[in-house]
Structure 1
Amino acid sequence: MSGDDGEGDGADGSGDAADERLDLSLDEAAGVADLFGGLTRTELTEALQELAFRRGVEPPPEERIDQVVRAYALVEYPRDDEGDTPDAEPLLVPGPSAFPTLPEGAADLPHILDIESRAVDRERLGRAVEERFRGEVARAVADEDEVLVGRLLDVSYDLETWGPVELGDLRERLDAVRE
């Protein structure tokens, strides 16, 4: 996640551990959220800060969470039921392109953080992700963005096996852009 080569980039040329960032793959970020059943963005940030502290490195930048969400490795689960308020921060849960993997030291997080394990309604989650996906397809088709179209085609197959959705009509729209 840092893009550092370990050479150090400080003005004095030092490359000590404090200059390094926690480097997690998309699947490892999803694994941290999966450990709890889902985490809010605030809780995931706290968990990543804890992992970074334990490793003696800096936490990843906030943008890393956005990258993981854009890649469909984490997806938002709206929390406006089961006693939550309608404006409750959504949970980030492993998405269709993730193969959740626990990074080193993550197994201790439930003992360190005061966060209860959560369950999500898979059908409701599938509908929320399908809605997001439909919006991204509409933008990709309107912009004729072939790179995004290709990425969304790949995600569409993952999404159908992951959630209770049918995306054949959207794949046809995406394929039409590629022709």
Structure 2
Amino acid sequence: MELTPDELAGVVDVVGPVTREELVQACGELAFKRGEDVDSDAFEAAIDDALSTYHVIAVDSEAQRASKRSGETAERDHDADADAPLVVVGPAAFPEIVEGAADLPHILDVPARDPSTETVAAAAEQRFREDAAEAVRAGDDERIQALLDVSYDLEAWGPVELAEARGLLDEATHAN
């Protein structure tokens, strides 16, 4: 079973913030319900694609712990995967709810988690800056253009300011 980045975002939208392992499990449940092959490697690759296009965002455990220390809401204390990064719906997503996804919260035993908007936005901004620096170093015009497009989505989506990074990306496209 193949899932598009928007369909993966739809799974996360229905279930809530999940670990990568839980997202693979959710994809497996959907495939099983549809009578299709459960291919964890294909799900992993689809998640990588969705992360790279900012359809979903990974919030690492350090950002979650910092959120807890600063008094913001984070995952419940009984969460066994408290140190695992959480995958949340990203700024480039138009979540598409696939058939059978509505049943996932009842099938999976995923604790309720609520990372703050600021924590998620900060994780997305950090990832964006790293991706932008790598794209410029590599001289990857296609990736630079994709990141320029994503930068506007990110600013509209969360409390981030990317004008300076966008300027550097724009300069890199003119330098090549």
Common fold, TM-score beyond 0.5? yes
* 1:87/1:114 CA distance change after superposition, 3 Å: closer
Give deviations 1:53-84, integer Å, cap 9, x for gaps. Answer: 01011135121111111111111112343447
| 1:154 and 2:149 aligned | yes
Indicate the percent of aligned positions where both proteins have the same amino acid. Answer: 46
CA deviation after TM superposition for structure 1 residue 118, in Å: 2.2
Kindly report which structure 2 residues correspond to 1:106-145, keeping only aligned pairs within 5 A, or say none: 106-145=101-140
Q: What is the match of residue 71 of structure 2?
A: none
The secondary structure found in structure 2 opposite 1:23 is: coil
SS of aligned partner of 1:151: helix
CA drift of 1:37 comes to 2.0
Q: Which runs of 5+ in 1 are unaligned?
A: 1-21
Distance verdict in 2 for CA 1:44–1:93, change over 3 Å:
same
Q: CA RMSD in A?
A: 1.8
User: What is the CA–CA distance in structure 1 between the aligned matches of 2:23 and 2:80, rounded to whole Å?
Assistant: 20
Q: Higher Cα Rg: structure 1 or 2?
A: 1
Question: Which one has a larger percent helix, Structure 1 or Structure 2?
Answer: 2
Instruction: Tell me which residue corresponds to 2:93.
Output: 98
Pair 1:28 & 2:7 matched: yes
Runs of 5+ consecutive residues of structure 2 not aligned to the other structure: 69-76
Counterpart check, 1:48 vs 2:27 = yes
> How many residue pairs get matched?
158
TM-score w.r.t. the length of structure 1 is: 0.82
Greater RCO (CA < 8 Å, at least 6 residues apart): 2
